[in-house]
């Protein structure tokens, strides 16, 4: 597949208008800490109707293809894109199916069932391959790729527009890196409109192919272990995403899973925000100081975490894997 | 009587010192409640609750020269932290008498902001009076004060800006300072909107006061919503509630817990039990609203003890 072009600012602005009434214009909230390497701001995508940023990309994709959706829609997702697609499909009255990895958490599967989506659980590797082949024998209807899709990235880019509106003097942005669609979307518009701002992806050390690929200068395979941080992380980057992202970001900040758990706790206690692991990863990255000082915006990408996992983290018993 | 002008003056005074909090659409929670629901996220406020709004307005209304003696008050938690924080910002000393059953994290937060905490198992007011006289401090009432109420009322101004077509606003009621201020502002700008208060069944001082036509005390109170456990309604707050508020309803602790859980899992907000009372009133049916009504629930704070929370999640 050919590498993607950056999302244009005017495309993102058009998408933003179309998202009105569907996606929430989320607030940018200050994280007040006595000692922090930077002035940290939280872009709370947790407050979206589906609990994650994915509604932006999914709704933008829906708007772009309209009539083609009548036969139903499907996606492959760890949970959040599936949730967004199922939510929008139900509102439109069309059937939705989703392929999820066997590592998908209960909170995300329960949400899918509530929305009436057909759920197919497959082994992690089978699931991962769909992002390359864009097909699965049991699936019919229109396929929405959760990240390697122009419309999806354009929807994600609207987050960048909102950040620059709320904090034009932003010094750095940190974005959790899963497939790369969120990073590519936000980084495209921030690069264009605030060229002096630093842009970082962030990953957990149990699944950090971007950092390794950036270091190698080409896509490389890394050892992958699953953790409670289920929304991001893979054994490899997707080449067409990597080629775009490498031009846009200043690096990828890799943090231990335990630091992400601590960030989930910090967000609840200090910022009063419920975040899932992927959502808290950017905060853990900001706290390392590697994104530098000044005004640092962390994309808190989602908040769909099992209540039992959250309780364990708040209690401080969850340290390593999950 | 508290007026819209008082609240507008308060806003000029406290602007820049407090967070202009967002009003958030809560689509999923709204579907469960059967209304068009928005949440005024006052848990994002400095010190984690709305209290700093009133405290700053009160302190800044006192001439600077008179602030140096220091201030004293009594509170179970959020007001204590807010007073300590605001005094710290303004260079004044804060002393707060707290009940010995106060949530530990709230005591720690108050001390963390530089306040001196005196725990007592006795009567808060008596202990406060003793310390005030002994140390020559100025008493700040935690809720029954027009300047405090006017500061809290700035939330009402922001709601009318964010949700110009709000039909109903639901506010948790402890001593009544928050709802008194919000209602005064709302009725001044958006008279068509209804304002409802919510109290725990076991801490229903305002409900009883309205029934008796005068502010009454209810003695010892015990609710999971420690932030709403004011044992009496104030003179000023009662007058404002009677003038501006449409009705006050009560909810059981179980309803507050159910609402809290849903706010965590569906709205992704880490609120405290008091903050969940507004949503609890709709979920439990204590407030019976027409389906589709455009409702703003005030989520007043997010300072919850992790041990309490663990049991709920």
Query: Given an 8 Å threshold on Cβ–Cβ distance, is B268 in contact with A47?
Result: yes
B259-274 burial, b if ≥16 CB within 10 A, otherwise e? bbebbbbbbbbbbbbb
CA end-to-end span of chain A, whole Å? 34
pLDDT at residue A320 in the model: 40
Rg of chain A over all Cα atoms, to the nearest angstrom = 18
Contact A51, A80 (CB under 8 A): yes
Please enumerate residues of B whose Cβ is less than 8 A from a Cβ of A: 19, 22, 24-25, 27-28, 41, 43-44, 46, 48, 261, 264-271, 302, 306, 309-310, 313
**Least CA distance to A305: which residue of chain B?**
B265
Compute the nearest-CA separation of B126 from chain A (Å).
33
For B15, residues 6+ apart whose C-beta sits below 8 A from its C-beta are none
pLDDT tens-digit series, residues A129-167: 999 999 999 999 999 999 999 999 999 999 999 999 999
CA end-to-end span of chain B, whole Å? 42
Measure the CA angle with vertex B311, ends A266 and B33; round to 5°: 85
Beta strand spans in A133-197 (E):
142-144, 172-176
pLDDT over 60 at A322, yes or no: no
pLDDT at residue A319 in the model: 45
CA B28 to chain centre: 25
Phi-psi region of A79 (alpha: psi -120 to 50; beta: other; left: phi over 0): left
Q: pLDDT tier at A317 (50, 70, 90 boundaries)?
A: low
Mutate to test the interface with A, among B268, B300, B307 (most CBs of A within 10 A): B268
pLDDT over 60 at B13, yes or no: yes
A46–chain B Cβ distance below 8 A for any pair: yes
Instruction: State mean pLDDT over A40-67.
Output: 94
Give CA–CA dist A41/A122, Å, rounded.
Answer: 37
**Least CA distance to A303: which residue of chain B?**
B268
pLDDT at residue B25 in the model: 95
pLDDT at residue B308 in the model: 78
Q: pLDDT tier at B227 (50, 70, 90 boundaries)?
A: confident
Give CA–CA dist B287/A146, Å, rounded.
Answer: 41
DSSP tag of A279: H
A315–chain B Cβ distance below 8 A for any pair: yes
Contact A57, A155 (CB under 8 A): yes
Which residue has better confidence, A68 or A186? A186
Instruction: State mean pLDDT over B223-245.
Output: 92
Lowest mean pLDDT of A303-307, B16-20, B238-242, B292-296, name the range: A303-307
pLDDT over 60 at B273, yes or no: yes
Element counts in chain B: helices (H) and strands (E): 13, 10
The chain-wide mean pLDDT, for chain A, equals 94
Contact A12, A157 (CB under 8 A): yes
Is-catalytic flag, B300? yes
| ipTM confidence score | 0.91
The chain-wide mean pLDDT, for chain B, equals 95
Q: pLDDT tier at A78 (50, 70, 90 boundaries)?
A: confident
Compute the nearest-CA separation of B312 from chain A (Å).
9
Q: pLDDT tier at B38 (50, 70, 90 boundaries)?
A: very high
CA B208 to chain centre: 19
Q: pTM score, two decimals?
A: 0.93
Residue B24 has its nearest CB partner, among A47, A267, A272, at A47
Q: What is the 3-state secondary structure (H, E, C) of A133-145?
A: HCCCCCCCCEEEC
Instruction: State mean pLDDT over B88-109.
Output: 92
Instruction: State mean pLDDT over B177-204.
Output: 97
pLDDT at residue B222 in the model: 83
pLDDT tens-digit series, residues B23-36: 999 999 999 999 99
Could you tell me which residues are beta bridge partners of residue B24? Answer: B39
Lowest mean pLDDT of A127-141, B41-55, B148-162, B211-225, name the range: B211-225
Catalytic site residue from B51, B58, B93, B187: B51
């Amino acid at each position: 597949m050919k590498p993607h072009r950056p999302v244009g600012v005017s495309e993102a602005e058009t998408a933003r208008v179309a998202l009105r009434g569907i996606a929430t214009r989320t607030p940018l909230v200050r994280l007040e800490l006595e000692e922090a390497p930077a002035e940290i701001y939280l872009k709370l995508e947790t407050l979206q109707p589906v609990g994650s940023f994915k509604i932006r990309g999914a709704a933008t994709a829906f708007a772009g293809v309209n009539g083609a959706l009548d036969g139903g829609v499907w996606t492959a997702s760890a949970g959040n894109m599936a949730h967004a697609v199922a939510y929008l499909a139900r509102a439109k009255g069309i059937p939705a199916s989703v392929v999820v990895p066997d590592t998908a958490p209960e909170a995300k599967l329960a949400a899918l069932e509530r929305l009436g989506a057909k759920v197919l659980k497959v082994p992690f590797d089978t699931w991962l391959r769909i992002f390359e082949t864009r097909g699965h024998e049991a699936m019919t209807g229109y396929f929405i790729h959760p990240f390697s899709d122009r419309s999806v990235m354009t929807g994600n880019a609207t987050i960048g527009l909102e950040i620059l509106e709320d904090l034009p003097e932003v010094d750095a942005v940190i974005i959790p890196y899963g497939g790369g669609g969120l990073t590519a979307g936000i980084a495209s518009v921030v690069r264009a409109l605030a060229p002096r701002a630093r842009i970082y992806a962030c990953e957990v050390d149990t699944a950090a192919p971007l950092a390794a690929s950036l270091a190698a200068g080409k896509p490389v395979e890394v050892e992958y272990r699953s953790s409670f941080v289920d929304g991001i992380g893979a054994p490899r980057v997707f080449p067409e995403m990597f080629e775009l992202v490498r031009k846009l970001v200043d690096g990828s900040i890799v943090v231990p899973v335990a630091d992400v758990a601590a960030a989930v706790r910090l967000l609840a206690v200090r910022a009063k925000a419920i975040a899932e692991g992927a959502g808290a990863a950017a905060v853990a990255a900001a706290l390392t100081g590697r994104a530098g000082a000044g005004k640092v915006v962390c994309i808190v990408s989602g908040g769909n975490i099992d209540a039992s996992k959250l309780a364990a983290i708040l209690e401080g018993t969850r340290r390593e894997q999950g | 009587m508290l007026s819209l002008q008082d609240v507008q003056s308060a806003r000029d005074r406290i602007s820049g010192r407090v967070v202009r909090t967002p009003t958030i659409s809560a689509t999923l929670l709204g579907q469960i409640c059967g209304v068009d629901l928005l949440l005024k996220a006052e848990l994002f406020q400095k010190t984690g609750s709305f209290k700093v709004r009133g405290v700053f307005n009160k302190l800044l209304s006192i001439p600077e020269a008179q602030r140096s003696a220091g201030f004293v008050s009594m509170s179970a938690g959020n007001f204590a932290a807010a007073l300590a924080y605001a005094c710290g910002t303004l260079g004044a000393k804060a002393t707060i008498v707290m009940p010995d059953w106060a949530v530990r994290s709230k005591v720690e937060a108050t001390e963390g902001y530089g306040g001196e905490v005196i725990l007592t198992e006795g009567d808060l007011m008596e202990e406060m009076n003793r310390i005030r006289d002994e140390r020559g401090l100025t008493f700040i009432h935690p809720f029954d004060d027009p300047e405090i109420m006017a500061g809290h009322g700035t939330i009402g101004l922001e709601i009318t800006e964010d949700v110009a077509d709000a039909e109903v606003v639901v506010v948790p009621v402890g001593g009544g300072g928050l709802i008194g201020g919000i209602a005064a502002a709302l009725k001044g700008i958006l008279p068509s909107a209804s304002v409802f208060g919510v109290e725990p069944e076991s801490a229903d001082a305002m409900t009883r006061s309205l029934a008796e036509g005068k502010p009454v005390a209810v003695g010892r109170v015990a609710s999971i919503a420690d932030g709403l456990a004011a044992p009496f309604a104030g003179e000023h707050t009662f007058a404002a509630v009677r003038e501006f508020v449409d009705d006050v309803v009560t909810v059981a602790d179980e309803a507050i817990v159910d609402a809290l859980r849903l706010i965590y899992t569906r709205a992704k907000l880490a609120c405290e039990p008091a903050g969940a009372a507004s949503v609890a009133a709709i979920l439990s049916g204590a407030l019976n609203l027409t389906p589709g009504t455009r409702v703003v629930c005030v989520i007043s704070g997010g300072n919850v003890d992790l041990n309490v929370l663990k049991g709920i999640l």
